[in-house]
């Protein structure tokens, strides 16, 4: 194979670059303003309440954090599993992973009741808490991926690339398992009381991360007027197809095992049949848009080498993934906890036994979107400053 | 999550800074007894593992339409009603239930159950949620970062997040925007040696006597006697959290 040259990604036109960055900056500024507003007023100005304690910001944050770990997949395949076609994409894979994680964490932190006490979270650890472990897993991820990128970019340390790649691979599996386990530990809530939650999050991360990777890769090469060959895109596309199928499989397994557990019938029919907006999000958002549509776009011979189909499939996966997390996070809370089996709640001073309502507000959405903008801005700046992208990704001649 | 082993908890973190030493047993109101623990410097030592505070609630005695306990709790801790029930703090609530099979109606107050193995403490990343050695589960408002994971984990929906800036706070209950809080079992009273919670006092005053507070570790306490004599249950006993609040006739 011919030698790869990496070069900073300059946009075809400087105005386009700066205008793009300014747009992202504006979105971030609006998000930060929204966070300040919610913090200053208190959370009552959001849609969240004592019933729905984690709202839209958590959906965005978890979505981005999960995707971050999956975005590193391409690098892992390149250096850990020795896939030569993937190897040139490793640097970008690492950069995107860092960007997505930073965006997700920003949203998570700014939605805390007391973000000013972040230092407490960094210094006080309850090692029984999976949240505390996640603080360590997330900070470690930055460090390890940083070193990993270094071994990819600097020839003098490139001999460490494989071992560091292994560490990064296992670290990110741990990270997603940790994120999934946040829910697995909530024994009292029927929606989350399932061991399958953690592996499901790992496979979700593969799928969302790769979708983010593909869509931004295509965008970057259009943006920088560079060439990208069909061979690599087809590989990535096929891989995405496998992941999407796996997520669908896990989602089915999760819901079917819940159907086996008698106490969980309530939550199942809530999600699958009569949960109103959550049922729609599940069937239309997660299953139709997030799984069936991309599988069709990926495997239908009609779209064989169509880049638009690949891009559209990736976007559909991301939209479906967003809904999937929305249903897990918000739907799981909206469904009432069953404190008194065999009894019906006739009256309650605190909304027992009723489906909690939640309407997301603009500030929450603005904060969440700002997280995505942070990820993209970091990628845009990082790719311009460092040699991340290969000069060309045209198919090798041999 | 380990449910079987005892949760190690901090020795003597006080809910409020100062404690008041009680001298001798003084009756300051009918049923309100100030008592000093014989020959110990317990007040300055803080909570003691010789006690486990808890309550037993008789659902049969909880009267329809009554809100004495809820009002008293709100009053004691200055939980202001801002007219936004979704976000207003509720440390105690009443619930009315109908048995799906028999149609039997029961009513009961629900608050933090002061679990022996509290999921809220297990999940709290910063150790802000903690259990005192005397079994009282509290939130350290100086450490809580407002992540609300404890609210996700509590099986009883016992916790409230403070959704706005607060004014007019009670000296007994420092509270603040962005933190989580829940029933303290009137720990300020316990630490002053007053062996009665605000809700029990109000329920007694209203003439119902549905709530009984006391020391579960003292075999001679009234609460231990009642629990020994009558059948009682824990809400969601299947979770094996060994709650400090028990219910009769539920
Ligand atoms: S009832 Fe809830 S808040 Fe109270 S100790 Fe148990 S888990 Fe914690
Ligand atoms: S909201 Fe506060 S008390 Fe609850 S888990 Fe988070 S830091 Fe701990």
Contact yes or no for B110 and A132 at CB 8 A: no
CA distance A376 to A332: 30
Q: What is the pLDDT of residues A332-346, one digit of tens each?
A: 999 999 899 899 999
CATH of the domain at A324: 1.20.1630.10
Question: Is residue B34 domain-resident?
Answer: no
In a domain, A281, yes or no: yes
Tell me the average pLDDT across A50-54.
96
Alpha helices in chain A, H assignment, sequence order: 14-41, 56-71, 73-79, 90-110, 118-123, 130-153, 161-184, 197-223, 230-260, 265-269, 277-280, 293-299, 307-326, 332-334, 362-385
Predicted confidence (pLDDT) at residue A11 exceeds the cutoff of 80? no
Nearest residue in chain A measured CA to CA from B9:
A126
Indicate whether A302 belongs to any domain.
yes
State the total domains in chain B: 1
Residues whose CB is less than 8 angstroms from the CB of residue A254 and which lie 6 or more positions away in sequence, other chains included: A194, A196, A197, A200
Q: Answer yes or no: is A353 within a domain.
A: no
pLDDT recorded at residue A17: 85
Residue A80 structural domain: 25-336+358-390
The predicted structure's pLDDT at residue B54: 97
> Does B46 map to a domain?
no
Residue with tokens 């004014």: B167
Encoding tokens for residue A216? 């931004």
Q: Nearest CB to A348: which of B87, B95, B161?
A: B95
Q: Structural domain of residue B92, as residue ranges? A: 53-248
Q: How many domains does chain A have?
A: 1
Q: Tell me, yes or no, whether A373 lies in a domain.
A: yes
H/E stretch holding B199 reads helix B198-205
For the entire predicted model, the pTM comes to 0.90
User: CA torsion angle for A46, A49, A52, A57 (degrees, to 10)?
Assistant: 30
* Binary contact (B157, A129; C-beta < 8 A): no
Which is the closest atom of ligand 1 to the Cα of B243? 6
**Domain contains A352:** no
Determine whether B123 is exposed, middle or buried from the number of CB atoms within 10 Å of its CB (0-12, 13-18, 19+): buried
Protein residue whose Cα sits closest to atom 2 of ligand 2: B144
**Contact at CB, A186 and B153, closer than 8 angstroms:** yes
Q: Which residues contact A159 (CB under 8 A, 6 or more apart)?
A: none
- Does residue B146 lie within any of the structural domains? yes
Mean pLDDT score, A10-28: 88
Residue A142: inside a domain: yes
Q: B130 by DSSP, 3-state: which?
A: strand
* Interatomic CA distance for residues A6 and A308, integer angstroms: 26
Give the pLDDT score at A2.
Answer: 52
Let me know if residue A343 belongs to a domain.
Answer: no
- The answer as to whether B162 is a domain residue is yes
Mean pLDDT per 10-residue section of chain B, whose length is 250 residues: 40 40 41 41 63 96 96 93 92 96 95 97 95 96 94 96 88 88 96 94 96 96 96 94 95
Residue B147 beta carbon below 6 angstroms from any ligand 2 atom: yes
* For residues A250-271, average pLDDT: 83
State mean pLDDT over A45-63: 96
Chain segment A108-119, per-residue pLDDT in tens:
999 999 999 988
In this structure, what CATH number is given to the domain that contains residue B223? 3.30.70.20
Residues A285 and A323: their CA atoms lie apart, in Å, by 6
- What six digits make up the tokens of B100? 């799906």
Does the residue B90 lie in any domain?
Answer: yes
This model of the complex carries an ipTM of 0.91
Report the pLDDT value the prediction gives residue A397, as an integer from 0 to 100.
Answer: 65
d(CA A194, CA A257): 9
B29 part of contact set with chain A, CB < 8 Å: no
Q: What is the pLDDT of residue B190?
A: 94
Q: What percent of chain A has pLDDT over 90?
A: 58
């Amino acid at each position: 194979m011919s030698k790869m040259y990496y070069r900073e990604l300059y946009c075809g036109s400087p105005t386009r670059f700066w205008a793009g960055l300014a747009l992202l900056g504006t979105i971030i500024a609006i998000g930060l303003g929204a966070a300040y507003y919610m913090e200053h007023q208190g959370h009552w100005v959001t849609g969240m309440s004592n019933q729905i304690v984690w709202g839209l910001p958590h959906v965005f944050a978890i979505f981005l954090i999960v995707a971050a770990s999956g975005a590193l997949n391409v690098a892992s395949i390149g250096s850990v599993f020795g896939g030569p076609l993937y190897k040139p994409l490793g640097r970008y894979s690492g950069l995107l992973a860092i960007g997505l994680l930073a965006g997700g964490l920003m949203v998570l932190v700014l939605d805390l009741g007391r973000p000013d006490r972040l230092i407490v979270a960094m210094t006080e650890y309850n090692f029984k808490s999976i949240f505390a472990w996640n603080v360590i897993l997330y900070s470690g991820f930055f460090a390890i991926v940083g070193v990993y990128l270094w071994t990819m970019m600097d020839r003098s340390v490139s001999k460490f690339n494989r071992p560091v790649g292994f560490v990064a691979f296992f670290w990110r599996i741990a990270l997603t398992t940790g994120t999934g386990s946040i829910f697995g530990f909530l024994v009292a809530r029927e929606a989350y009381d399932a061991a399958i939650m953690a592996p499901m999050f790992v496979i979700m991360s593969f799928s969302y991360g790769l979708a983010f990777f593909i869509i931004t890769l295509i965008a970057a090469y259009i943006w920088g007027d560079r060439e990208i060959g069909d061979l690599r895109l087809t590989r990535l596309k096929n891989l995405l197809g496998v992941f999407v199928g796996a997520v669908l499989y896990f989602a089915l397994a999760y819901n079917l095992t819940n159907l086996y557990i008698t106490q969980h019938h309530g939550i199942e029919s809530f999600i699958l049949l009569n949960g109103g907006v959550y049922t729609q999000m599940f069937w239309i958002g997660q299953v139709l848009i997030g799984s069936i549509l991309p599988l069709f776009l990926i495997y239908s011979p009609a779209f064989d080498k169509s880049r638009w189909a690949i891009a559209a499939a990736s976007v559909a996966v991301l939209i479906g993934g967003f809904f999937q997390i929305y249903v897990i996070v918000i739907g799981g809370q909206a469904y009432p906890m069953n404190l008194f089996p065999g009894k019906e709640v006739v009256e309650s001073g605190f909304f027992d036994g009723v489906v909690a309502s939640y309407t997301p507000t603009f500030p929450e959405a603005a904060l969440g979107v700002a997280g995505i903008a942070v990820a993209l801005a970091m990628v845009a700046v990082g790719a311009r400053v460092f040699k991340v992208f290969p000069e060309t990704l045209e198919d090798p001649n041999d | 999550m380990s449910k079987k082993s005892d949760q190690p908890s901090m020795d003597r973190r006080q809910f409020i800074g100062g404690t008041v030493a009680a001298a001798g047993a003084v009756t300051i109101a009918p049923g309100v007894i100030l008592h000093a623990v014989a020959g110990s410097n317990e007040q300055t030592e803080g909570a003691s593992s010789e006690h486990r505070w808890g309550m037993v609630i008789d659902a049969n005695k909880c009267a329809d339409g009554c809100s004495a306990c809820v009002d008293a709790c709100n009053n004691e801790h200055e939980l202001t009603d801002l007219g936004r029930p979704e976000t207003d703090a509720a440390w105690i609530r009443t619930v009315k239930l109908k048995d799906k099979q028999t149609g039997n109606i029961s009513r009961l107050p629900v608050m933090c159950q002061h679990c022996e193995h509290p999921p809220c403490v297990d999940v709290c990343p910063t150790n802000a949620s903690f259990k005192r050695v005397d079994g009282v589960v509290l939130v350290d408002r100086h450490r809580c970062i407002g992540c609300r994971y404890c609210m996700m984990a509590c099986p009883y929906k016992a916790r409230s997040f403070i959704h706005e800036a607060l004014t007019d706070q009670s000296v007994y209950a420092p509270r603040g925007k962005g933190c989580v809080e829940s029933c303290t079992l009137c720990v300020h009273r316990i630490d002053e040696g007053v062996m009665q919670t605000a809700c029990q006092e109000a329920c007694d005053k209203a003439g119902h006597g549905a709530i009984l507070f006391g020391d579960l570790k003292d075999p001679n306490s009234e609460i231990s006697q009642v629990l020994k004599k009558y059948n009682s249950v824990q809400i969601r006993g299947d979770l094996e959290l060994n709650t400090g609040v028990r219910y009769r006739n539920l």
